[in-house]
Each structure stands twice: as C-alpha cells, then as structure tokens.
C-alpha cells in the first residue's frame, strides 16, 4: 500500500519525480487510476468523432459506418488493449535488458506518463494554432523513461532502447494479429457463400 495521495500520484510525472514514479509503478492500488487515465486519453482522442457530423467510416473500408459513440467505444477498447499489449512486450524487453518489470508496472508507468499528453491535447483543443501537442508528448516520453529507470533497474539509455524495441515488436505483433483477423473474416465470408 502506497502512502502517496492521488494528487501526489498525478503530480509525480509532471514533476519528473523519479521516486514518485517508481512508487506508482510498484503500487498495485494505482492500477485503477491508470485505467482512468487511459480512458480519459481515449476520450480526448475521440473528441473528433463527437464533433463530426453523421457517421464515420471505420478503417476506410466503406460499409462499416460507426456513430460517434460507436467510434468512441471502439477507440476505448482498442486503446486499452494496445496499452496492455505494449506493456506486456515492454516488460519482456526490459527483462531482456537485465531489468525487472511486470506488465502492470509498465502499464501504470505508461498510463501516468499520459498526463503530459492529456494536457497537450487539451491545450491543442483550446489553442490549436499553438501546436504544442508534440512538446507535451515529448515531456510525457521523458517522464516515462525516468519512471522506467526508477523501478526496472535499467539505465536511461537502456530504457530508451527497450522502448524502441518494444514499439517495433508491438507493431509486428499488431500486423500479425490484424492479418490473422482478416484471414478469419475472409475465411468466414467464403465459407458462408
């Protein structure tokens, strides 16, 4: 059980507090708040769906029109699954770099680092001409690396390389998963005809 308050947990990535970030990664009670941050991130990412007119076409394939609510729900589910997949891969890669990590430690660290991105998205919504989203995302990435070094035992450069490797592996896994799903859909379509 952590002695950190919710405010302390939310401020840790914003202050680049290495000890606080490490405490969050190791605090299982922070998992619920981590999911809330992912949901808020997905909501902000779906604002365009709620502000557009009519329906949107999922994946540009035509015929699969989603309402804004449907798009939000799909975005939410995919965001959570992608974060969990990346966290699982990252924990594996960090262990390969001689560190220690679990999927949920990586998930909590990634989720709390999203605070910078959430703030950047809000700034971009309020003042789109400033285009500060990239800067806030970069600050979130820095907080993420600092957090990884705080609990995994991997140095900063190793954590940076581990994140890049984990991103590449996650993308490869996504391509494989999508390929299998497409094959399954086409197989079902051809079997039905």
Model confidence at 56, in pLDDT bands (50, 70, 90)? very low
Backbone angles phi, psi at 67, to 5 degrees: -75, 165
Q: Tell me: the pLDDT tens digits for 70-124?
A: 777 877 888 888 999 999 999 999 999 999 999 999 999 999 999 998 898 888 8
Q: C-alpha distances in angstroms, 104 versus 13, 27, 35, 43, 139?
A: 17, 10, 11, 22, 22
Q: What is the model's pLDDT at position 138? A: 93
pTM over 0.85: no
125-173 tens-digit pLDDT = 888 788 888 899 899 999 999 999 999 999 999 999 999 999 999 999 9
């Amino acid at each position: 059980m952590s002695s950190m308050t919710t405010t302390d947990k939310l401020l840790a990535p914003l202050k680049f507090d290495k000890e606080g970030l490490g405490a969050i990664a190791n605090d299982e009670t922070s998992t619920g708040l981590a999911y809330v941050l992912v949901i808020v991130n997905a909501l902000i990412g779906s604002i365009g769906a709620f502000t557009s007119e009519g329906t949107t076409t999922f994946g540009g394939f035509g015929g699969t029109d989603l309402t804004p609510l449907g798009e939000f729900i799909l975005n939410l589910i995919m965001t959570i699954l992608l974060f969990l997949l990346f966290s699982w891969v990252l924990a594996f890669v960090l262990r390969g770099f001689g560190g220690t990590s679990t999927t949920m430690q990586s998930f909590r660290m990634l989720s709390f680092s999203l605070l910078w991105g959430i703030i950047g998205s809000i700034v971009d919504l309020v003042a789109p001409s400033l285009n500060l989203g990239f800067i806030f995302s970069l600050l979130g990435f820095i907080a993420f690396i600092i957090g990884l070094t705080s609990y995994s035992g991997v140095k900063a450069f190793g954590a940076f390389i581990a994140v890049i490797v984990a991103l590449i592996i996650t993308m490869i896994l996504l391509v494989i998963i999508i390929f299998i799903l497409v094959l399954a859909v086409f197989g079902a379509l051809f079997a039905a005809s």
